[in-house]
């Protein structure tokens, strides 16, 4: 779950990280009042879950409250488009914050290094809006240190990081303290990522988290109910968001052959077989164990909401899942949705004979093996 900037800063502030004062609003007059309380000179930031807000015109500095208010009036309801998000996102709220007199900008993030299967801290003296370009053209400018979640980050790692990243000596103590704070927040909040860009080194020698992004691990949200009530799925794929609401394990992949199975391993094998047969999986969907007809129907309906789906491969191995229940769910979904695309089903296991009997007379093409089913659905879709 991605947090907005204002939520990310609130989280970091609770751990003692220095962040600029500010308030979130969607009302231009309230924005004026907030700006006045902050001294008039403020920065207004669109609160949308996308990168490149600054270049898209969603972040601006103002010298007085009236100008800030007018900008908010124009910005609310506007769609921001960036390189990272070409389809754009509509601005529903803004953060009005005090300005920071920035002398230098650094970059800091803590996240999971999946290749190394470890948590990693990344630090660079070249922070700011062009950090993606820095990562692509000058990767050595980003220092890295793997950390153990049981111990956090050691002092020697902090010293090595700030030195390797070429952080100026006057800023090193403050940056090191910020790293320690962010690492603690990262572990205790079950974050997948915390990114601060920029880390501002101010003219008066302070280190401030001028911007922040935090993403919380979805499977740990039960430990952080305070975020569930403010969840913003506007940046999520709408079908994936609906699947999450239904409690269905679904990932959209962009192909044209929908896949439904029971058990993550079986679904992934089904995807591999479709790919091997020359097709492109449209999704991953695991109906789960013991699924009843209603849940199966809901899964079929979900997959078919993807307009790219041109065929459906259903692969069920019945253990605690009864194949007759699966068959009834498939037919129920097809009757309610008036499905007009090729469907191949491979059903084995508990009550498989009854499940196959239920599907007889329908347009569903049976298959005995996974390979046969994958080959059939790819051929049927190609011949449409």
Specify the pLDDT at position 150. Answer: 86
Q: Is 320 annotated as a binding residue?
A: yes
The lowest-confidence range among 27-31, 61-65, 100-104, 223-227 is: 223-227
- Fold observed for domain 238-382: Rossmann fold (3.40.50)
Within 10 angstroms of residue 171's Cβ, the number of other Cβ atoms is: 22
User: Residue 142: how many CB atoms within 10 A of its CB?
Assistant: 18
Q: Is 197 annotated as a binding residue?
A: yes
CA trace torsion 319, 323, 325, 331 (10° rounding): 150
pLDDT of residue 234: 63
Alpha carbons 61 and 43: distance in angstroms, whole number: 4
Confirm whether residue 54 is marked as ligand binding: yes
Distance CA 17, CA 177 (A): 9
The catalytic residue among 195, 273, 301, 310 is 195
Active site residue 156: no
Structure tokens at 35: 């700006």
273 sits in which H/E element: helix 264-276
Question: What is 140-151 written as a DSSP string?
Answer: GGEEEEEEBTTT
Q: What is the pLDDT of residues 294-323, one digit of tens each?
A: 888 889 899 999 999 999 999 988 887 788
Would you state the torsion angle of the CA atoms of residues 120, 125, 128, 132, taken in this order, to the nearest 10 degrees?
Answer: -50
3-state secondary structure 192-245: EEEEEEEEEEECCCCEEECCCEEEECHHHHHHCHHHHCCCCCCCCCHHHHHHHH
190-242 pLDDT, tens digit each: 999 999 999 999 999 999 999 999 999 988 988 988 887 666 666 677 898 88
Q: Under a CB-based contact definition with an 8 Å cutoff, are residues 365 and 342 in contact?
A: yes
pLDDT at 219: 85
305 labeled binding residue: no
Superfamily for domain range 1-19+101-235: ATP-grasp fold, B domain (3.30.470.20)
Burial class of residue 28 in the structure, from the number of CB atoms within 10 Å of its CB (0-12 exposed, 13-18 middle, 19+ buried): middle
The band of 28, judged by pLDDT with boundaries at 50, 70 and 90, is: very high
**Comparing 356 with 374, which gets the higher pLDDT?**
374
Q: What is the mean pLDDT of residues 344-350?
A: 88
Domain 21-99 fold: Dna Ligase; domain 1 (3.30.1490)
Given this model, what pLDDT does residue 241 score?
83
pLDDT of 231 reads 66
Q: Which of 107, 186, 250, 310 is catalytic?
A: 107
Any known ligand binding at 369?
Answer: no
- Residue 98 assigned as binding residue: no
Are 79 and 107 within 8 A, CB to CB?
no
262 appears as a binding residue in the annotation? yes
d(CA 152, CA 167): 21
- Residue 172 is given by DSSP the state H
How far are the Cα atoms of 79, 267, 321 from residue 251, in angstroms, in the given order?
A: 26, 11, 21
Residue 70: active-site member: no
Residue 297's pLDDT is 85
- This model's pTM is above 0.75: no
pLDDT per position as a tens digit, 239-286: 988 898 888 999 999 899 999 998 899 999 999 999 999 999 999 999
Q: Is 309 annotated as a binding residue?
A: no
CA–CA separation, 106 vs 201, rounded Å?
8
Task: Please give the helix or strand (H or E) that residue 378 lies within, else none.
Answer: helix 370-382
* 298 SS3 class: helix
Question: 315 labelled as ligand-binding?
Answer: no
What are the structural domain ranges in the chain?
1-19+101-235, 21-99, 238-382
């Amino acid at each position: 779950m991605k947090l907005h900037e204002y939520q990310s800063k609130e989280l970091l502030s609770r751990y003692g990280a220095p962040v600029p004062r500010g308030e979130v609003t969607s009302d231009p007059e309230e924005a004026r009042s907030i700006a006045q309380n902050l001294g008039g000179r403020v920065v207004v930031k669109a609160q949308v879950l996308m990168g490149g807000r600054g270049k898209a015109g969603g972040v601006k500095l103002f010298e007085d409250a009236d100008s800030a208010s007018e900008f908010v009036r124009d910005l609310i309801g506007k769609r921001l488009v960036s390189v990272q998000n070409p389809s754009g996102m509509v601005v529903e709220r803004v953060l009005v914050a005090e300005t920071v007199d920035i002398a230098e900008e650094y970059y800091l993030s803590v996240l999971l290094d999946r290749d190394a299967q470890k948590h990693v801290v990344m630090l660079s003296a070249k922070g700011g809006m062009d950090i993606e370009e820095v990562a692509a053209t000058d990767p050595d400018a980003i220092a890295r240190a793997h950390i153990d979640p049981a111990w956090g980050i050691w002092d020697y790692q902090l010293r090595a990081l700030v030195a390797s990243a070429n952080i100026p000596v006057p800023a090193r103590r403050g940056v090191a303290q910020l790293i320690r704070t962010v690492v603690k927040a990262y572990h205790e909040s079950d974050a997948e990522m915390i990114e601060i860009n920029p880390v501002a080194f101010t003219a008066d020698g302070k280190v401030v988290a001028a911007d922040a992004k935090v993403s919380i691990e979805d499977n740990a949200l039960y430990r952080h109910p305070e975020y569930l009530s403010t969840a913003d799925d506007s940046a999520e794929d709408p079908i994936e968001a609906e699947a999450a609401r239904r409690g269905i394990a679904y990932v959209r992949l962009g192909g044209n052959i929908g896949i439904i199975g029971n058990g993550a391993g079986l679904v992934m094998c089904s995807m591999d077989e479709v790919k091997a047969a020359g097709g492109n999986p449209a999704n991953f969907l695991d109906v789960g164990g013991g699924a009843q007809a209603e849940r199966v129907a809901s899964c079929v309906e979900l997959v078919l909401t993807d307009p790219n789906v041109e065929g459906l491969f259903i692969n069920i191995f019945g253990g605690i899942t009864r194949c007759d229940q699966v068959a009834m769910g498939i037919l129920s979904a097809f009757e309610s949705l008036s499905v007009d695309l090729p469907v191949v089903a491979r059903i084995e296991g508990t009550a498989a004979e009854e499940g196959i009997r239920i599907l007889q007379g329908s347009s569903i093409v049976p298959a005995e093996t996974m390979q046969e089913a994958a080959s059939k659905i790819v051929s049927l879709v190609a011949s449409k």
